[in-house]
Homo-oligomer: A and B are copies of this chain.
């Protein structure tokens, strides 16, 4: 017996709805799983719409900014009562857009639901599937986070071969690639993370030279001084440049706050800090206290905020480079895959306490 919905050519479309604005750290109840929404899997003629079957959805820390009622950012807030918008990989099931046809696989901005009708198809890119590269990697390694790492490292960090590079949130979707690109570039790389399991992954799987668990450090500045000393020891061992003051040349900052302040105290002269995120701050306007700003002057440090969207001209080169490195086995990518749209709210919330190990993805449907 058919249901009334299928009689009308409609299917149920489960959704994760954004309930309303919050200023604190996101909690699961900021979102709600909604059943019973019916959708017709047809792109109306003349609409330029594509109908997507969502396969993978991306949980990204920047989305926290869209849960706040502030219109002064680089991206507008979510709409309460609507499905959450985010990056996804999806299959086209119907299309009125000349550039896309049924069966195509796309990545880009979609919604947290089983099926999405997308009118703004300029936000979607057709994926040319490459043997051996999982589709979900288009949300991480080959997606926005990967490109953030690429643009941030090569452009905002202005790296030099032999630089001593420090990365915070080092197993994150962005951090893990920054460290690996820095290694390929010929840098000495130390990462900070929040569990001993992740410390092991950084050293043994992602190829970082050293890693520290910041949650086990009562004094971040002293911990970073140890890291700086490690850099120094490496210099002495290498037998070159031992006369430089010990310390960090490049800091790729994903967390802000106390870690940023502690790192400034351990930077070398002419060091560079790429400011990518402030994961440590629940509310981005909470005061952050800095004791070491004078060192930014005395050490002639450059701190550079950046957004990947300013570097779109590098995107083709990024895809080519990172695909090649991956196929050559020069980089690996850690992914944390949760199954089912139901798992999305908890997975997203987990980002802010570091529950995820690697890039957090939701599998909505089987390929």
Interface residues of A (CB under 8 A from B): 72-74, 256, 275-278, 281, 284-307, 310
Decide if A288 touches B290 in the complex (CB within 8 Å): yes
Shortest distance between the CB of A62 and any CB in chain B (Å): 10
Q: Which residues of B contact A289 (CB under 8 A)?
A: 287-290
- A309: nearest chain-B partner, CB-CB: B300
Neighbour of A297 across the interface among B295, B301, B302, B305, CB < 8 A? B305
Decide if B310 touches A294 in the complex (CB within 8 Å): no
Decide if A296 touches B285 in the complex (CB within 8 Å): no
Neighbour of A303 across the interface among B278, B287, B296, B310, CB < 8 A? B296
Shortest distance between the CB of A132 and any CB in chain B (Å): 34
Q: In the complex, given contacts A256-B294, A278-B297, what are 17 additional A-B residue pairs having Cβ atoms less than 8 angstroms apart?
A: A256-B293, A278-B293, A278-B294, A281-B294, A286-B291, A287-B290, A288-B290, A288-B291, A290-B290, A295-B305, A296-B303, A296-B305, A297-B306, A297-B307, A300-B305, A302-B305, A303-B303
Shortest distance between the CB of A363 and any CB in chain B (Å): 30
14 A-B pairs within 8 Å (CB atoms) are namely A73-B298, A276-B297, A278-B293, A278-B297, A289-B289, A290-B290, A296-B303, A296-B305, A297-B305, A297-B307, A298-B307, A301-B305, A302-B303, A302-B304
Neighbour of A302 across the interface among B284, B286, B287, B302, CB < 8 A? B302
